[in-house]
Every structure is written in structure tokens, then in C-alpha cells.
Structure 1
């Protein structure tokens, strides 16, 4: 608690623009000099320092001081005029009398009333009062100083985040530094960062958090970590964020029992004892999250028990304490046989869960990924949402960009989530939007809501990329109210996070709204999924990794055709898992939306689309268009120079330049793969033809450089690069030279090289022995993306030197120095007419 109080005291201290404040900067607004109508004091109707109402009072004082430069006194007095009153409805009525405004408040909801001299922020509960305080501060921080009065209630009672943190401090699919919760097998000593995170979550109305990986370890349940869990709960409680944990199903066996059978009395007794121990230390714990019988995790199927048997065992021991069990529907066989035409991972969730509807206890919530596979750039809504009318359900989204650029690429995800939440499943031919199913409204269920995998880390800006925070902010806003507009949410975030300057708002809005379509274009479109390395780290391109394995994320691509046939008539039957109206739409190739064509239908590459293009030509064109859009983000961002603080401006510029280069890697890898597979030419004669490139292996090699075949071959230009074959302990150098074959002029010179994570090689480039530039292969220090130790699509990257004057016949030299296993790999040099980053 002392650390928490020190944290509250530190909130008044100014910090640099490093992204740590996120959208809670409380920067001065244009109207800040006019404070005559600002209330004179703050009345917080609770003095208990662990209370969210007390926190709300402190937050209001901090925000108003930042926005207006005026410090308001805080009390729990009884003044009615010229004051900001924050508290619960019950406390307000005790102090000031009844109010008709409160009768429509739901759990966590609030009433906000702003007039000339007074502000009333009244929550249905303490958490709601804090949410209302943050809402008020958001209004005034954006210069919205006019009067208003409204009630705001949540769409769903469950609005959680999941953190995939491991006890050793690593984070599975985390791209922003180590865990803020764990290190060396235990909870960290200093929880200041955890309190800061709880504050961010409360500001977007998140009420629960799972702090550890769904691939859980039994050691989390030892006495030391239970005490650590209590300390975490203590610092998050003042912000209304309830803590929960993921469980390893086989934990009883790890602690000495001979079984983990959920119907065994000794197992039930063991879990009951552990649960009692936890709740004795954390009486308001949110509950448990369970991943069972998926991807090698243990579960009830081991003992021929049902998944409901397993979920209900936890539900029964948690129920006396008010705990919820979130039971993941991400259950599938990862050893499928692609040669079996009807095998389909997309069918797994319905096959495992549909016959269990109504068999789950009332405090079990089935947590369903938004699509039927795994956080792809585009998937149809999971059909399971339509199959559990008698069970509580929640949607699982992903803020951490596992398959979507790992925060090295800008991808604003709210438009994707909106499409999912607003999708009408048409259950029993009645309106059945996903957002109404998960809220419990459609099927009259008591519980439901949202969970998002976030994976914040120790990076000062929480998620690695400053612009990635728009996804966390948008998730909270949509979890509370899914009817909100993705663009309006984004613009609120920009105004709060960066500036109210209209050019800043317009530019970041344009970049963000273009980002998801662009990423879809240069990674995998027409419903083919994200064509990444699914057997590896899910970052770079590797379309051949999609097939010929048991993971079931297949494209079934061959030399003539591509796509999964998921029809009932001839395929896996996945289309038939949807309610009748939706099933009929997906069964028919003419009515299937083209952005899901290859998800539901297996077609020849020459299949004509409504545009008149063939499927393969659409692939070629889209990948070029996507890379062009990614490149356009660089000058867009550069147009904001001088309008943003230097640190965040430079940080984002670095990542946008990286994304522009990596989008070319994606473009070429995917296009080359399908060009080679189909033997169908690009109508525009671009694929496989790069007149502005000089291949490294075609230059004069000296020193330690030798040609190296790239695997997969499409990840390298011409399937070949060069590298210095050094040992772990030996660093050596090499160089390549050639004469410039292009006409004299001013060029942007790009060098495509490989930056692997097991060393920090260095390079330099010169023209006629005059140095143009030099750099180090240290992206592992600058980007949080998953590590890779091979020259492939994950590690291929580009550095560009702008505005270089070149004479035809100049001697070009690139010199590399290896470091350990990193052999200073080079793919090619490209000379681009100035300003054309991806023309090659």
C-alpha cells in the first residue's frame, strides 16, 4: 500500500513525452486561461484510500491542475454549489437527498452532469464513480467545456484484459519488453508500474485483468506467489480493476496428487483449498481463466470427462467467493491431416462445445475468439457464437499484434472489431448481433462481455509503438459501448495522446484508417489469412508454412488453385455451422463476400472476381498497393514535424520507415511464391522484375562474403543473398563492389539486409570511397517483434539513405562486419528516384 501512496504522490510530477502517460497527459487546453466558471472544490464521498472514489478525487485534482493550471482542494464536505461532487449514488443520496437520475444506472454505470458552476459524477458503485471522473476529464482535456448531462451504462458486465506473462518475466506474444508482474519465478517487488497500468485500464472502464499466461504454470499457486497476487490486487483495487489468474489444469498433480481428474474428490478438495487460500488473501478476486486440452495443455478430456465437467469444477469452488470462470473455447487438434479433405480446424470450436450448451454453471463464461482460427487479418465471425444460447459467452480479441505486425507495423484494429461486433448471426432468423450475444441481451444470459489479449511490457510507452496504444484505448471504449464509431474513438485518442491540432488529428486518422486494409493487402487478402510463418514466430512472410502441417491454417494452394472449400456440398462443412441465412450466403460462391472468398471456396487462380480481375492478378495488385500505402505513411508522418514532441515523433518515424521496408519484403515474398507456384504472369510485368535493384550476389565479393541460399527462397530477392560465415566467437569483414549502371541523378539508396537477433553486425556504404552512411544491426534493441536467428522474411529489412547524388559509373561499395552468428547479410541495393520508396 505504501508504494501505491507514493505512486499517487508522483502523479503530480511532470514527466517527459515518452508515451508513458498515454492518453492521460492532461495537457493544457486553449481555453485554460478562462477558469472563472470552473468549480472551486472537489468533494469525494469516500475517504478510504483504497476506494475508487478516493482515487477519483485525486485524479480530478491532478487532471484539472494539468489542464487549467489550477489546484482545487479536495474534501468530503457538504457544499452543493461551485463544486465537483464524485461518489456513489447511495453516498450522494445519504448526503444530499434522493435523485431520480440514479434509477436507470446499471452496475459500473455513472451519471455525469456538468453545468456552469457545478459538476456531479455519480456512480452506481465506486468503480462507476471513477469511470465518470475519467469521462469528465476526457471531456475537458479535449476542450469540451460546455454543459451536459447523461447516463452511461456498460454494454457488458465483463470487460477484461488478458496478459500472457510468464513467471520468468518473459511474455508470450509480447512485443514491448519484459513483464511488469513477474520476474525470476515470482511477483516483482516494485509494483509502481502495475498501479500505473491499473490507472490506464480504469480510464477506459476495464474492470478485470488476468495477469499470467493462459499456458499457465502450476508454480503460480505456491504460497509466495499467492502473497504476490495479493500485493498486485492491493495496488489495482483503488482503480476498480479486479485481478484474476490463469490456471494449469494439471496443477494438483504438480503438487503431489496422482491425478487431475475434475470429478475425483481429492482433486476437487485440492482446488477448493487453493481457491480458499487465494480468496482469503484476495477477497475480491475476479476469478479464473482456463485453457484446457488445446495446443498440448492438459484438461478434462484426458480422463474422458467433458469440457463442461472441467469448467464446472472450477466454477463450484469459485462461486462461494463470487468468482467467475472464463473457459476458453480455443480447443482444437493441432495434428490434423491435410490430405483429409474434410479436416478443418475452423470446425473445432463448434464440434467441441455445441453439445455442451446449457451444461455450464451460471458463473462460467465461454471465451470465444472472434474468428474460428487464430487472430488472422480477416476471418468470418466464429460460428460458435450462434450455438450457445443457454451459456454465457465473451468475445476474445487481441490488442497485441501477434499475426498483425507485432507493433513494428501500424495496424489500427477497431474497424475490424466493429465489423465483428456488428455482424448479425441471424440465429433463428432473428436479429443476433455478436455484441448483443456477448452482452447476454440476445439470449437473456446473466454474464458476458469481452476479453482482450494486451501484453503490455516495461517499455515506457507500454506497447512498443506509440500508435499501437490506439488499439488498447479503442478496445476499452468498444467493450463499454460497441455502438461507438471507430473513427470518432480514434480522434478522441489522438487529441488526448498527441495534440488537438487539426493537422495532427487528420494525418494520424488517415494513416490509422488506412493501416488495416493496407496490412491485409500486403499480407493476405480474399480471406486467405495472414500468410505468415505459422510454425515459427508469426511475424514475417512464409506462405509455404501454411500448408503441409497439422496446424490446420491451410490454404490448400497448388499449381492450379487455392482456398479452403468449406461448403457443405463439397467441402469441410464449416459454412453449415452458421445459422441458415448466413450458411446459405457462405455456401454460394456468388453471395460469399469477396474478402472471404478463399476462406470458404477453393478456386482456380484464374477465377474472375467482380472487378474483372483474376484471383492471382488481384493478389499481385493488392500486394503492390498495400506496400505503396505503407510507404505513404512515412511522408504523412514527416508532415507533422514540429507539431509533435521530438522523442515521440522520431520513435514513430523510425517504425514507419521500418514498416515501409518490411511491407516490400511481404509484397515480394507473397507475389513471388504464387507467381512461381502458378506460373501465371503479372499483367503489369512487375513480379520478379526489379530494374532498379543490384543483387548483392551479382556484385564483386571480397573478404568473408559468400553467396547464401535463402530459406524460404521467396524471402530473398532472387532467392539468394550474401553473408559472412562467421563462428559464434569470430567477427570478420567483407565487402561488395560494383559500378552504378543507372543514369546520373539524385536517388534514395536502399540497402536490403538481414538483421538477426544473435548479434549486432555493422555495415557501411560508400560511393567512390566517400561514405554515404553506416548502420548497426540492432533492431532487437529497437523493435519488440519476435526474435529470429536466420536470414528470412522475419529478419529481412531495409535502410534508406535519402537524396544521394549519383553519377553513372560511380564505384559503389558496401562493407559488412559480422558479429557472432550475425553475418552482416545483404540481399540487394536499390536505387530509387527520390521519394519513391517502393517503386522497385
Structure 2
């Protein structure tokens, strides 16, 4: 066995480093200069050595990356040589087999699993040995990561992947749009074809390889069959050529009905011989162009997508159609278990979408080919702010599994809200399902270890776009980085991973490290607080954009994301005794915990139990008071994000500083929209007052509909809770401006003036605010161009936002006036103005 000796002495600075403008394109691979001193320079290697290089492979990529990185990090130009085993004052990069054959046949490197690597440094000599070429490349990135973080100590350790499958799923469409994409158009597709310029794909390959991702499915699971034309197959070959030197294989998503829609067969029955032959020919043609293609991803019989149920075939028969076509080529079929009826009748008490995965797939266990992996979303519903573990993980003994996570923040702020996701993921990965009363951690189930399966691992939806930030928010990149790290080693601490990412992305300034760490680690609990807590799901609009608050949409829909809230009670009864039986889908020990309200954790109470609003939690609070308090606490934390970030001005380059600050200011305002919408909704429904007197009482606000209006008129907002006082104002015409004014009754002094308004898609209205005749400020409704989330064409919780003008001199009796100029279909809508004393966030 190799001895693990890892010393971690990091160079951290108490004063700001010199900063230059950056746009985020390099991500965590900035290779920013680290000043290690002359003695340090002398101890660094003077050359890079490879053994038996073949050209254009991952070893060559590793040497090029090392040469680039050392040149930028420590300013040392190092040549690359083909040499023997004399590795003094050099970086030797090789596979384990190369090293044994050329250097030391007695060295036992059997401790390295597929893709694993051994890194050893000692006074100017570095050895990077990979189990394969990909592992050697991972080792090179690891060494550069240490140097980039100011770690020049000697290390000696090996590391192996937790699972063989470490993939990302792109949801890119052939027309260049991206489903749930928040950072611009696709880097792969445009106008129905693969793009000519793949330079951004190469940079993406670097980023993915550095976090040890080994597969990328390049197109949307809601697939378009035209991907399989000869021209686009040729384009896929070009994409594969870009990824291959970085140790990454590509796969594609397939539309189940392609033999009919593209092939003209008139059927896509998975047992029809013509269909079987058609898919076999398609697969052969793909592998001729991409011999190392990893395989297929298929979404079938879900959300209107075609599937085997059309012909009364089972899901396993549908999956095996593709698996058998892939077997001669060594390919893998990833089959999504996201299958459910999206026209469910809520009036039937026992109906429950959360039961669907087990109901569809449990009885099929053991009926899938050995090269099939079932890709299972981490929870039973759909990437909510908190869900229990999907019970399907505990119900498949004889089937390969992979866990599906979502880096893209579909229900979680859509990259305009800071939400660091690994603490959420860890609640799933570290959960013990106690299958057959034995330790059954989810992370060990998905790797294949628990049920002794050969294939298993990880998949994540990662919707990078052409924006230089990649994900639309610089801080959102922490989630992509951490996904790769956890897929390799899920026992890692999420805060430690975050700190590595911060040092690599923003430098070694101690203040920057501590501040962004505090912000990020607080972000998921904060978001859960001001969106949906106690296991109630993310209380967003599930019918429309999955973004802003809309608790009413959670019921009376066919999608099965329900709260069953009424005047007196709230929550899904998922018990076996009285409810949908979902708790009974878990192994006995877990089922007993969730079946009993006393043992159900408060953070999942409303997931499993239907209770009165006055039900007392383990904390002693009632459910409704917890709602009120949590939403205020979450919004308050969001306000602090701005001041925390402001403390870093001058320590982060201005371009990235300004970009992030704009989003944090927006998040602070939108968190108040969330807070008020959810609290007002349940206050109206339950008629139970907030014990602290906050909900429905806003002494600093002046409602727009109560001002003197000229060219404006009142408008009843729907849903009502999306507006303070349930009304807003809009211009009476889309071609003339409106004015709203009022006299200030508050005592004279300095105030922050916050204006809540609606920034709709389809126009860019302009507003100007005056105190008397003095202009306080102007702004434009251009969020569809400057922010990331899916825009709204309505006055609702998606388009509601605010702008704040700080420390404005206001005297009692002054006239406060806002002039709105409509544009397009946007009628310069206003909700309210808040005159806030210092330290008050409304």
C-alpha cells in the first residue's frame, strides 16, 4: 500500500493582492501568480518528463497544462522532454504501466483503481502516476491546484474515484436554446446544427477534466431526432475530438420516437424488428464517427415524451432496446427514472407523484441489461429546496443506479440567487437507508458498492452557456466545481471544497476566503427559509417558470407537487396509516421514522404529514409561526450578503465584483418579495396573526395605488400575494408616461428609499424618482438582458423586484414623485415605495 502523507501549509494573505479585470472565462483555472520567493523557485522542477508519449492524448494534455500552469503561477518556463526515468528536478507524468515497464517493475501500483492517480513531490522532484492516461491528467491538475492555492509542501498520496460514472447532462437544444439555461445560448448547437467554433467547448473540457468528470451528454433529454442526421453526426465527431484529449467521452440523448419521426417507419415499438434494426444501424453509424462514445441517455414515457408505454411495453423493454444496440460497442445506456403521470387528480387523497418512481421501476428490478444504469433524481419530486432521499435507491437490488443532481438552479434561484448546493446534496449522500437493517448510505448505493453492482455513479444537469461566467453568476460556479469533487469523493467536507474553489477563483486573500465562505455556507439555509421550509417544497410557480413565489400554484394542478393547504391545515399525508403510503416505500427503520409524526424531523414534517397550522414543532413553535419567522430570517440574511460583499471591494477585480454585487442586490430585494408573498398567502388562508406583528404591517411603506396618480391606474395583481396591498399601478396607456406622487409624513432625516416595481419581459420601461424637483435616481427595466432567470410577461412574483437609493435627505412635507415611461408591453408598473431609516430592511 502507498503511504498517505499530505501536508497542507497554505499561503494566505491578510492584505489584498493586486487585482486585474477578469470576466470568469477561466473559472477556477486562472493560474493566478503566487509569489513563493527565490528559495521556493529553486526547489521547483526545471523540466517536465514523459515516457513513451504517443501524441494527442491525455498525457500530452497533462504536460501542456503543467507547462502553462507553472508559467503563469510561478513564472517559470519549463520545457517538455521525452526521457527515461531520471526524474531529478523534474515533473514525471506517466501511467502506472509505463512507469513499471520503464522505471521500476517492483513498484506496486495495484492500489490505483481506474482513473486513480498517485502524486508525490519531494524537493523539486514530482511524480504523477495515473492508473491510465486520464488519471495522469487528473494528477497534473491536482498538482497545479496545490500550487495555485499556495501549497508548496511535499505531498505523497494516492486517490481513487468513488464511482466509475461521473457525467454531466447538458440540456442544450438543437436551435441553440437551453432548457433551464441561465447563461446565454448553447456552446454546442445553433440553428439545428453543431457550431463551427468549438473553442468554448475546449475551455469547458478543461474545466470538467480538472474536476475529474469523465463523460458529457451534449444535448437535452427532451431530445430532437435531427441530432441523428449524417451532418450532425459528423458534428458530434468534432465535439468528441475536442473532449477526448481531456479524458472526457461524449454521449447523446435520444428521442424514443426517432424511428418514426426521423426514420419514417411508422412505429417506434421497441419489440418491432424494424425498430431494433433501425437503432442498430444508427448506433453503428455513430460509433463509426465516435469510436469511444460513452453511450446514450434516454428520457421516455415522462412529461409527454414518447416511450414504450405507447405499445404497452415495459420500461425495461424500452431501455433494453438501446442497451442491446450499444453492447457490441461497449456503450452504456443511462435511463432516467423521472417517469410519472402529470395529470394527477389531487382530489383523490391517496394520489401522490412521490410514489411514481418506485411504482414504475421496483417490479422491473433485475430485468435490465447489465449495461443499463437507472438515473434517479435525488428526491422523489424534482430538485426541490429540500426533499427526502428517493426511496427508489432502496428498492433496486439487481439494477445499476446513478444519482441525478442539478447544478443548474432550476427551482433554486436560477443563478440570480446565491445558493451553494453541496450542503443540500450531502443530506442525501450521507443518508443511511438501512436496507435490510444494514448500513446503506446513499453514496455507497449509487457507486454500486452496497449491492455489488459493477456500474454506478453520478450525473448532474449543468447548463453552461456562452456567457463568460458560464452559469450566469460567478459564485454559481462553486456548485459545478463541488459537484466534480463530490462525485470523485463524496465524503469530502462541503466547506473544505468551497474554500479550495474560492482560493482558485478569487486568490489567497484571507478576508475574501472567510467572507465568501460565510456567505455561501449560509446561502442554502437562507434560501430554504425565504422560499419553502418544513419540507413543504420550494413554493414557486410550478406551472410557469419555476422561479418566483406562487404558493397557490402548488395545489389544484396535475403535476403532483402539492401542499394540500386549506384554511386549517397544511402538508401531504404520506403515511401508510392515513395517507398516500409513500413512507412505506422506505426500508423498515426509515419508514417507521417517517410514519410517526413524533420521530419525523421538523425539516420534513410537511412532506410526510398533514397537520394544523397550530401544530407545535419540536422547537416549540407552531407551524405557521415558524413560517413567519423563517421567511423573515431568510430575507434578513439575504440583506447581509450585500454588505458582506461590499467589504471585499478592492480585494476582487472590479468587473467580477460589480457583476456579483448586482446579483446580490437583486437577491436581497427579491428575498423580500418571497418573504411577503409566502407570509401574506398563508396569513390570508389561515387567518392566524404573526405573534410578532410583522406580517401585513409595513409602517415604512407608501402603497403606489394610494398615491396621487396622473396617467397611472390601480391594477389588481394576480396572484394577489405578489403585491404589497395586493395592488400595483400601471400606466393607463402604453404610449404615455405616468406619475405617482405623495407628501412625506415621516420625520426629516436620511433615508434609504426602496421602490418595488415589476420588470416584465417584452419591454424596458424607465422610471425616475424625485424628491420635490430633485432627481434622486433613474433606472430601466432591463433585467431580461442583465440577469439570468427566465423572465415573466406578467405582474407576478417572477417579475417583482426592487431598487434602493441610499442615504437620501428627505424632509417632512417633501413631495416624493415617480415618473414611469412604459415601453413595449411593459406599462411601467409600480408596487410601493418604502422610506427606510438606517438599518431597516423593510
- What's the TM-score bracket when you normalise by the shorter of the two chains? over 0.9
Q: Which runs of 5+ in 2 are unaligned?
A: 1-18
Partner of 1:4: none
Q: Does 1:36 align with 2:36?
A: no
Distance 1:167 1:707, change over 3 A: same
Q: 2:748 touches 2:812 (CA, 8 Å); kept in 1?
A: yes
Deviations 1:777-818 (A, max 9, x none): 001111110021111100000000011111111110101100
Among residues 261, 264, 271, which one is paired with 1:263 in the alignment?
271
- The structure-2 alpha-carbon separation of the partners of 1:532 and 1:210, relative to structure 1 and needing over 3 Å to count, comes to same
Structure 1 position 108 matched with structure 2 position 123? no
Instruction: For residue 591 of structure 1, report the CA deviation from its aligned partner.
Output: 0.2
1:398 matched to 2:406? The reply is yes
Question: In the alignment, does 2:369 pair up with 1:361?
Answer: yes
Name the counterpart of 1:69.
75
- 1:156 is aligned to 2:163: yes
Q: Is the 8 A contact 1:46 1:54 kept in 2?
A: no
2:483 is equivalent to residue 475 of structure 1: yes
1:49, CA displacement in angstroms? 4.2
1:823 alignment partner in structure 2:
827
Distance between the aligned counterparts of 1:32 and 1:327, measured in 2? Answer: 53
Aligned to 1:9: none
Question: What residue in structure 1 maps to residue 670 of structure 2?
Answer: 662
Question: In the alignment, which residue of structure 1 is the partner of 2:13?
Answer: none
Once the two structures are TM-superposed, the CA of residue 96 in structure 1 deviates from its matched residue by 1.6
Please give the TM-score of this superposition, normalised by the length of structure 2: 0.97
Q: 1: distance between equivalents of 2:74 and 2:298?
A: 46
Output the CA distance in 2 between the equivalents of 1:405 and 1:99.
Answer: 54
- 1:350 aligned partner: 358
Equivalent residue for 2:628, pick from 620, 635, 646: 620
**Match in the other structure for 2:190:** 183
Instruction: State the partner residue of 1:122.
Output: 129
Gaps of 5+ in 1: 1-13
For residues 635-684 of structure 1, the C-alpha deviation after alignment (integer angstroms, 9 at most, x for no partner) is 00001111111111111111000000000000000000000000000011
> Hey, what's the Cα distance between the residues in 1 that align with 2:29 and 2:637?
30
Q: Which is worse superposed, 718-727 or 446-455? A: 718-727
Secondary structure of the structure 1 residue equivalent to 2:42: coil
Residue 801 in 1 paired to residue 805 in 2? yes
Correspondence for 1:252 among 259, 271, 280: 259
Please identify, of 40-49 and 447-456, the stretch whose mean Cα deviation from structure 2 is larger.
40-49
What SS is found at the alignment partner of 1:30? coil
CA distance in 1, matches of 2:584, 2:370: 29
Alpha-carbon displacement from aligned partner over 1:485-517 (angstroms, at most 9, x marks no partner): 000000000011002111111100000010000
| Cα separation, 2, equivalents of 1:810 and 1:32 | 62
Q: Deviations over 1:405-427 (max 9, x none)?
A: 00000000000111110100000
The answer as to 2:25 corresponding to 1:27 is: no
- Post-superposition CA distance 1:697-733 (Å, at most 9, x none): 1101112x11111110000111100112445xxx321
Tell me, yes or no, if the aligned pair for 1:739 and 1:812 is still in contact at 8 Å: yes
Equivalent residues of 1:754, 1:796 under 8 A apart = yes
Q: CA deviation at 1:50?
A: 2.6
- Find the aligned partners of 2:364 and 2:766 in 1 and give their Cα distance: 58
**Secondary structure of the residue that 2:43 maps to in structure 1?**
coil
What are the equivalent positions in structure 2 for 1:181-220 lying under 5 Å apart? 181-220=188-227
- Cα deviation, residue 611, structure 1: 1.7
Q: Offset at 1:47?
A: 4.0
Which residue of structure 2 aligns with residue 57 of structure 1? Answer: 63
Which of 210, 225, 229 is the matching residue for 1:222? Answer: 229
Aligned 8 A contact 1:45 1:54 in 2 = no
**What TM-score comes out, normalization by structure 1 length?**
0.97
* Secondary structure in structure 1 of the residue aligned to 2:754: strand
Matched, 1:168 2:168: no
| 1:715 maps to which of 715, 722, 743 | 722
Residue 599 of structure 2: aligned partner: 591
Query: 1:98 offset after TM fit, Å?
Result: 1.9
| 2-structure distance, mates of 1:308, 1:32 | 62
Within the candidate set 283, 297, 313, 1:289 is matched to 297
Q: After the TM superposition, which parts of structure 1 deviate over 6 Å for at least 4 consecutive aligned residues?
A: none
Aligned residues: 821
How far the C-alpha of 1:99 sits from its partner, in A, is: 4.9
Q: Which of 376, 390, 397 is the aligned partner of 2:384?
A: 376
**In the alignment, structure 1 residue 569 sits paired with structure 2 residue 577:** yes
- Distance (whole Å) between structure 1 residues aligned to residue 198 and residue 280 of structure 2: 29
Q: Distance in 1 between matches of 2:82 and 2:542?
A: 57
The 3-state SS of whatever aligns with 2:567 is coil
Cα separation, 2, equivalents of 1:220 and 1:61:
37
